[in-house]
A and B are shown apart, each in its own frame.
Chain A
C-alpha cells in the first residue's frame, strides 16, 4: 500500500544531542514537507522540498536541517540549536499544487 512512513513513533533524546527523524514515501510525490505541532496549536512549517536536491525554509527553520537526496526520503534533523525541540513532528507529501498533503502518523520527540 502507498503511504508515508515516519519513524520512530516516539523518540527520546537528551538535551544537546542532535536527532534525525525519518520520513519515507512510496507515493511518487515530488513535494515533501515537515511540520511541527505543539499542544493546542496548529501546524507550523519547518522545511519543504518540491524536487530532489532542493529545499526551502519554512516559517520556523531555525535549529533544524533537512536533506532530499532521494525522491522518497526527506529526513529532518533537530539540532542542539533548537531551543524547544519537544513537539509532535509531521511529515507530508503532495503530488501537485492544490492537491493537499498526505500525512504520516507523526513522531513525538521528547527532549529531557
Chain B
C-alpha cells in the first residue's frame, strides 16, 4: 500500500543554519505530495505541495521538489529561524484523495 517515510527527529539546528528533512514515499500511480507544519497544540497547516514529477513547491522560504526517480520529496530551507520550530509532516494524497502521513519530524531551532 501507499506509505510515507520521514527521517527521525528531533532535528536540532542553530538559527540561520540550512535545513533538510528527508521524505520518501511508496505509491502506485502519481500521487500529490505535501508538507504540513504543526505548532504546539494546534492543527496542521499546509506548507507547500507538488502535484507532478519535477514540480517544486515553495512557501515561506521552504522548498521541496517532487522526485519520481528517487520517490522523494525532501524539505529544505536555506536559513532557519527560531520561529520555524515545529513538527513537520510529509504526506501524499492517493487516488481516493485520502492523505497518508509520515510520522512527523520535530525541528528545534536555537538562537
Chain B proximity mask over A18-60: 1 for CB below 8 Å, otherwise 0: 0000000000000101010000111101001010000010100
Chain B residue with minimal CB distance to A104? Answer: B43
B interface, over-half SS: strand
Question: What is the total of A-B residue contacts with beta carbons within 8 Å?
Answer: 64
The answer to whether A103 and B43 touch (CB under 8 A), given A43-B89, A97-B95, A98-B51, is yes
Task: Specify which chain A residues have a CB less than 8 angstroms from the CB of B42 in the assembled complex.
Answer: 105-106
The answer to whether A101 and B51 touch (CB under 8 A), given A33-B98, A45-B98, A94-B97, is no
5 contacts across the A-B interface (CB closer than 8 A): A45-B100, A48-B98, A98-B97, A100-B99, A106-B41
With A and B bound together, what is the CA distance between A81 and B97 in angstroms?
A: 28
Q: Are A50 and B97 in contact (CB under 8 A)?
A: yes
* Interface size, A (range): 20 to 34
The distance from the CB of A95 to the nearest CB of chain B, in whole angstroms, is 10
With A and B bound together, what is the CA distance between A40 and B101 in angstroms?
A: 13
Residues facing A in B10-61 (CB within 8 A) are: 32, 34, 36, 41-46, 49, 51
Chain B proximity mask over A79-112: 1 for CB below 8 Å, otherwise 0: 0000000000010101011101111111000000
Q: Are A90 and B34 in contact (CB under 8 A)?
A: no
B81 within 8 Å of A by Cβ?
Answer: no
With A and B bound together, what is the CA distance between A92 and B95 in angstroms?
A: 17
Task: Specify which chain A residues have a CB less than 8 angstroms from the CB of B97 in the assembled complex.
Answer: 31, 50, 94, 96-98
With A and B bound together, what is the CA distance between A48 and B98 in angstroms?
A: 8
The answer to whether A42 and B101 touch (CB under 8 A), given A100-B46, A105-B43, is yes
Task: Specify which chain A residues have a CB less than 8 angstroms from the CB of B44 in the assembled complex.
Answer: 43, 90, 92, 101, 103
Chain B residue with minimal CB distance to A102? Answer: B46
Chain A residue with minimal CB distance to B95? Answer: A97
15 further contact pairs, Cβ within 8 A, besides A92-B99, A105-B42 = A6-B43, A33-B99, A41-B103, A41-B104, A42-B4, A42-B101, A42-B102, A43-B44, A43-B89, A58-B98, A96-B97, A97-B97, A98-B51, A100-B46, A101-B46
The distance from the CB of B90 to the nearest CB of chain A, in whole angstroms, is 9
Q: Are A101 and B99 in contact (CB under 8 A)?
A: yes
